[in-house]
Structure 1
Amino acid sequence: MTESRKRSNLRALVGRRRQPSAGTPDSGYTIGYRKIGEFQGGVFDFDDHVVPWSRTASNLLPKIMLIAQDWASEDFLSGDLDQEQLQLGYTPGLPSNQNLFRLLGAHLNTTFEETFATDAFVFVKHGSMTTRIPNPDLRRSALEYALPQVEIVKPQAVVCIGSSTYNAIRYALGRPYVSIDTSLGEEPLRMGSTPVFGVNHTGGLATIFAGGPEAQDRQWARLSKMISHYA
């Protein structure tokens, strides 16, 4: 598939998530969610990006595709407009981003800009950035938006950030829940010929839960070996 065709297909997905019924009980969600374009005058609702995270990481011929859980919450987007976030699609100073970028460089020899990055949940979740998205809604969004992006982009490997994200993708592929460590300890989950891996979230609390930075580095070193072997 050519890059222009990929971009056209991504724009079609953008159109799908803009539909009035998208992200509502009418389309199978447990509750209704607001759309990215409803905040800050719609400045974050980019035609070429299903989620703003792809604004900087939009390589359509990537080795690595990153899938995180979600991009933003209602409370977060109701504050002052962040010009860096608008320009880049992410907040550079956020510790979880800084840690992710470090891990990408140290273990996968790549930069964020060289990946294609998206989210499993493409709507704006309620409340704060720590609000939990109901599993049925996270899984439905992963099925409707994340899996089609994998099919369109066709990366060499997919890396899911966080257990909830990894298991939402597994569920969308008809697989049961597993521990995040399982993704790096056996034949990988595959979507077609593309291997799909999971790692712990790169935020501070998740890093502590994973055993600290050294444990996280060991996990990413294992990820690097798995990608080299299976991708």
Structure 2
Amino acid sequence: MQGATDMLKDIVEGEDGPRGFLESKVTRSKTSYNLERKTRYLAMVCPIWGLEADSWAMEWLELAGKHGPDWGPDLPMLPSPTDGGRWQAAPMSAQAGARWLRHLLYRAGEDVAAVKSLGTHSLKATLLSWMAKWGASREVRAVLGYRSSASRGSEVVYGRDNVAPALRELEEMIGSVAHRRFFPDSTRSGMFSETLAARKKDSADCEDISDSSSDRSADEEEPDGGEEEKAVEDSGGVFEPSEGLREGLDGFCILSV
């Protein structure tokens, strides 16, 4: 947020309301350790929906339009405020941003003991932790955390199209938390929850299937594994050793299963 500039709204109106992301260009970050990266734009993106019924981003954009700050080239997304309620040209420090965040949480009624250790980095860490519990791959979490391995190169996090799949998965995870389908703070067995009504419906469907087919039980007693065997063969194929290995093993006793 200190080096963010040029806010871009990638938002479309759908049948269920606005969907999309906010994007800001960043020219400086902790991972920019050489001149190329320091002068190359890094896209910082976030979904416009959070955990509440209303879009936080749409409300935030409306308030920012009325009260500032102004956004543009070389202007920070969140500058330091003045005593008179206006905005400075200098970006807010990480320490001041953390104090502001904690103050907002205090005013919202959050527990003081739980809030006092939080900082601006806590927001990112929370989402990455939720994504790990959600089952997101290490690669997806690395992209969301703006990390890339040397073998994959920096284009993974600098290219907009490269981060799109990870953003869609992040949006899906947040939506599942908001709609109470995913509980990241629960135990492992209780993170994903289905309603009792859904379980009863599944049970009833199973009973209907067993009652409607008199020969289904006979099929289950002697299941036909042909489809499963074909799927395994299609995915793995017939095993063959490396080229030349079979000829080198001639004359040796090989255990056959």
User: TM-score, structure 2 length as denominator?
Assistant: 0.26
Q: Which has the higher contact order (CA 8 A, sep 6+)?
A: 1
Larger of the two Rg values belongs to structure:
2
User: TM-score, structure 1 length as denominator?
Assistant: 0.28
